[in-house]
Structure 1
Amino acid sequence: MVRNLDFDVSEMALTTYLCAREHGARFTALPIFLVREFHHGAILHNRQAGFRHPKDLEGQRVGVNRGYTVTTGVWARAILEQQYGVDLDSITWVLSGDEHVSAWQAPGNVVPLEPGLNMEEELASGRLSAAIGVKQEHPEVETLIPNAYETSLQALRDFGLYPINHLVVVRDDVLAEHPDVAKAVFDAFVESKNRYLESLMAGSWAEQFSTDQLHRDVMPVIGDPLPYGIEPNRPMLNMLVAQALRQGILKRPVTVDEVFAASTRNLVG
């Protein structure tokens, strides 16, 4: 979608969208936030590194699964900086893949993993001290932040940290040709979300997934676990935009409202 505009409507990672938009992508977001995640548990380290605090990452080489602009990495780095005082600029960020927006230029402390190497293996061997967004498949690899899920829930209770990962975008030519399509798509997703929540609360499924449990766990704190619309999500959107600028993903400031389709800016669902 970013490179070829293959779809009329597409799910997309939030920071991918912001980055693509700055580089002239011809699609616009709707405030439909399909994926929310906790990210304290996304930061893994090798026990052999002897880290006792996230600040021990300073001066180290830290892996990032896929690209630097991947939204999980942005949120994880924001947590490290804002909650644990980590100097992000002191770390060399090592990437396992390329960026969705090929025109984007990485900061100087962002480098690719050497060809032929595997990030999980580099972390398991100790050649990488830590990594974000990789699988925890080795006995020497564990989460850097203890009790990560409970810590994430506490961060939600304490200051509303409920990260947004994915939203929906629509091609600009589709929006121009069909002025009502943005609201129609928004309304359809709201209806779908409401049906999902009814089934979730009724316990209608034999098998539930970790995302279902996440939604159940946040409901006592915030109510609707998947609020759509700009206003109920403004604090998280402001934080993500600020972090994208702080981390060198965006070169120019933007306001939250301007990055969404005008006809959806006042919608809530």
Structure 2
Amino acid sequence: MQLVLGRDDLAAAALSAAREAGAEPERVAIEPVHKASRGFVNESNVDVCELAIVTVLQAVAHDKPVLLLPVTTLGRHQHQTLVTLGGDLSVADVEGHSVGVRAWSQTTGVWMRGFLTEQYGVDLRKVDWTTYEGHHVDGAEDPAWVKRAPQGSKLPADFLRGGVDFAIMGNELPSDDRIRTAIHDARQVAEHWSKDQGFIPVNHVVGMSATAAAEHSAAILAAYDAMHAVLTAGEHDGPVALHPVGFNALRGAFTKAAAYALEQNVIPRAVDYDELIERTCAALDVPPARLGG
């Protein structure tokens, strides 16, 4: 059983638990971890894989054999990811200006565009969007009103030279003193948003192939329990959990992300969260309560 997990502590716990459950697990090292998504979603080349929440939604919408294991491996606030380079531009100026995002289906971008429409009244079609990569899921395409940067272009470099007015960047944000957030007091705004919503805008969760769920159900359930224990032990008191685990805990984030993704033409059809629960439970032959439902 092959696993791709970005966090060392979660990987160690999952491997140990799966081994005790009778499997022969192996961790496949791929960095950055999102590079593993395409092969997993389209070819099932590993059994368990850390995935962006929007990749899970896209995979299900495009009928890929991908199931959700409800574990958050990366949760963070997102409002600070809309940045500009000096000058006087702010979130109020997004319409009529250019914005770059690594990929249209990048989860950070989906969250940020959702905030733009929901909190700031931005009409996404009045923004000059540029993407730099395609999708992890075969069959997914950018909307017709989004343009692709020339082959070989990279968002950080394009942004720093002034090729776009704004950029949405998370981990790939370059270090430059000229960069500032487009939303004033972005961290505080993000914290208020999560407190009001009751959940964190989750980035990464865990996916598994349908074949793996059938062949290694005991090991996968043991890995889930082990990762749950690690994340619970590391969670600090706060208004919302940074790493929610279990179907109930992830419902809010998945439901909101699915609504944003549908509005932004990231997914071709609505994906109901209960569909994800039913698919996983059927494959593992367990009731929802076994996985925090």
- Which runs of 5 or more structure 1 residues have no equivalent in the other structure? 198-214
Give the Å deviation of 1:64: 0.2
Conserved 8 A contact 2:41-2:64: yes
Conserved 8 A contact 1:27-1:170: yes
Q: 114, 118, 122: which is aligned to 1:82?
A: 118
Conserved 8 A contact 2:228-2:245: yes
More displaced stretch, 13-22 vs 256-265: 256-265
More displaced stretch, 225-234 vs 12-21: 225-234
Matched, 1:31 2:77: no
Paired AA for residue 220 in structure 1: G
Matched, 1:183 2:221: yes
**Which residue is equivalent to 1:13?**
52
CA change 1:179–1:159 in 2 (3 A) is closer
- What do residues 178-210 of structure 1 show as CA deviations (whole Å, max 9, x unaligned)? 444443332121122234x2xxxxxxxxxxxxx
Paired AA for residue 55 in structure 2: T
Q: 176, 181, 194: which is aligned to 2:232?
A: 194
Conserved 8 A contact 2:130-2:147: yes
**Which residue is equivalent to 1:265?**
288
**Which residue is equivalent to 1:221?**
239
Paired AA for residue 183 in structure 2: I
Task: Find runs of 4+ consecutive structure 1 residues off by over 6 angstroms.
Answer: none
Matched, 1:60 2:94: no
- What do residues 233-252 of structure 1 show as CA deviations (whole Å, max 9, x unaligned)? 32222111111111101111
CA change 1:185–1:82 in 2 (3 A) is same
Q: Distance in 1 between matches of 2:217 and 2:188?
A: 44
Paired AA for residue 153 in structure 2: L
Conserved 8 A contact 1:32-1:168: yes
Q: How many residues align?
A: 245
**Which residue is equivalent to 2:205?**
167
CA change 1:265–1:244 in 2 (3 A) is farther
Instruction: Name the SS for the 2:111 alignment partner.
Output: helix
Q: TM (normalized to structure 2)?
A: 0.76
Conserved 8 A contact 2:60-2:271: no
Give the Å deviation of 1:116: 4.1
Q: 97, 106, 116: which is aligned to 2:142?
A: 106
Give the Å deviation of 1:47: 2.7
Conserved 8 A contact 1:91-1:109: no
Conserved 8 A contact 1:63-1:119: yes
Matched, 1:97 2:139: no
CA change 1:189–1:111 in 2 (3 A) is same
CA change 1:184–1:83 in 2 (3 A) is same
**What RMSD over aligned residues (CA atoms) do the two structures have, in Å?**
2.1
Matched, 1:118 2:142: no
Instruction: Name the SS for the 1:83 alignment partner.
Output: helix
Give the Å deviation of 1:26: 1.7
Q: Distance in 2 between matches of 1:166 and 1:24?
A: 20
Instruction: Name the SS for the 1:259 alignment partner.
Output: helix
Give the Å deviation of 1:264: 6.1
Give the Å deviation of 1:11: 0.8
**Which residue is equivalent to 2:254?**
237
Paired AA for residue 138 in structure 2: S
Conserved 8 A contact 2:61-2:271: no
Instruction: Name the SS for the 1:123 alignment partner.
Output: helix
Give the Å deviation of 1:175: 1.5
- Which runs of 5 or more structure 2 residues have no equivalent in the other structure? 1-39
Conserved 8 A contact 1:229-1:264: no
